[in-house]
């Protein structure tokens, strides 16, 4: 009887050893599907406070700038000055220099100059910095720039975006703009600059995935 019990125990343990790797594999496969399900890319929504908005403390990573002797503080595309209650968002001062542009900028050429635009501010690159300048004459609106940034399909026509959730025209433009920003950051390609077709395909893939994640059909 003891021998029979021992034999049954060995058979049960052998079965568990055989089934355990399969169970773990199925669990890993299921987790992989869940991860893929929730990994749809969505453009990072950069929200800029309007001029006049007040904060008690500056955000982490700010830089102090002196523009014609006047102190300003800069962080992620926003300029601040001191106020009685802390700090207040101000218009970008002409002549201010920053070392790096915030994410999501748009670049375009006018004549021999290449401009950079983000949060309503225009910059020109000078050596290793970017200088705040006035809006150049002839600069296109964000909507026109966005149209230029829309990738083409295989037929060479601009991609057509269908809203599946009843998004308004204003919402569609906002989503397209934010997906443009995300795709530039994700792919490292700015379609407003001349890039090889292969690089543009990386941008198109990121741009399309972003819009699909926001409830659009893209053809």
CA distance 91 to 52: 9
Structural domain range at position 102 = 54-133
Regarding whether 90 and 67 lie in a shared domain, the answer is yes
Q: Is 22 contained in some domain? A: no
Per DSSP bridges, beta strands 113-118 and 78-83 are unpaired
With residues binned 3-state (H G I as helix, E B as strand, rest as coil), the percentages for the chain, rounded to 5, are 35, 25, 40
Q: Is 47 contained in some domain? A: no
Regarding whether 129 and 59 lie in a shared domain, the answer is yes
Regarding whether 184 and 129 lie in a shared domain, the answer is no
Q: How many folded domains does the chain comprise?
A: 2
Q: Is 2 contained in some domain? A: no
Three-class secondary structure assignment of 111-159: CCEEEEEECCEEEEEECCEEEEECCCCCCCCHHHHHHHHCCECCCCCEC
pTM: 0.50
Regarding whether 61 and 129 lie in a shared domain, the answer is yes
Regarding whether 100 and 59 lie in a shared domain, the answer is yes
Q: Per DSSP, what are the bridge partners of residue 107?
A: 116
10-residue mean pLDDT profile of the chain (219 residues): values are 49 47 47 38 58 91 93 94 94 93 76 83 90 81 59 67 86 78 78 62 86 90
């Amino acid at each position: 009887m003891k021998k029979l019990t021992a034999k049954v125990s060995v058979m049960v343990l052998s079965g568990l050893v055989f089934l355990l790797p399969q169970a773990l594999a199925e669990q890993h496969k299921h987790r992989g599907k869940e991860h893929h399900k929730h990994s749809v890319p969505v453009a990072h929504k950069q929200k800029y406070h309007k001029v006049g908005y007040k904060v008690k403390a500056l955000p982490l990573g700010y830089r102090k700038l002196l523009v014609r002797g006047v102190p300003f503080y800069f962080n992620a595309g926003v300029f601040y000055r001191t106020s009685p209650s802390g700090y207040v968002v101000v218009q970008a001062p002409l002549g201010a220099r920053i070392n790096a542009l915030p994410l999501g900028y748009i670049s375009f050429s006018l004549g021999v100059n290449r401009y950079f635009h983000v949060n309503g501010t225009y910059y020109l690159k000078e050596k290793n910095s970017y200088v705040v300048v006035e809006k150049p004459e002839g600069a296109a609106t964000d909507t026109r720039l966005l149209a230029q940034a829309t990738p083409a399909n295989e037929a060479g026509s601009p991609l057509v975006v269908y809203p599946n959730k009843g998004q308004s025209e204003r919402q569609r433009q906002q989503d397209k703009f934010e997906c443009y920003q995300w795709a530039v950051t994700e792919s490292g390609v700015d379609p407003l600059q001349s890039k090889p077709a292969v690089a543009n395909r990386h941008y198109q893939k990121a741009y399309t995935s972003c819009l699909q994640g926001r409830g659009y059909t893209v053809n």
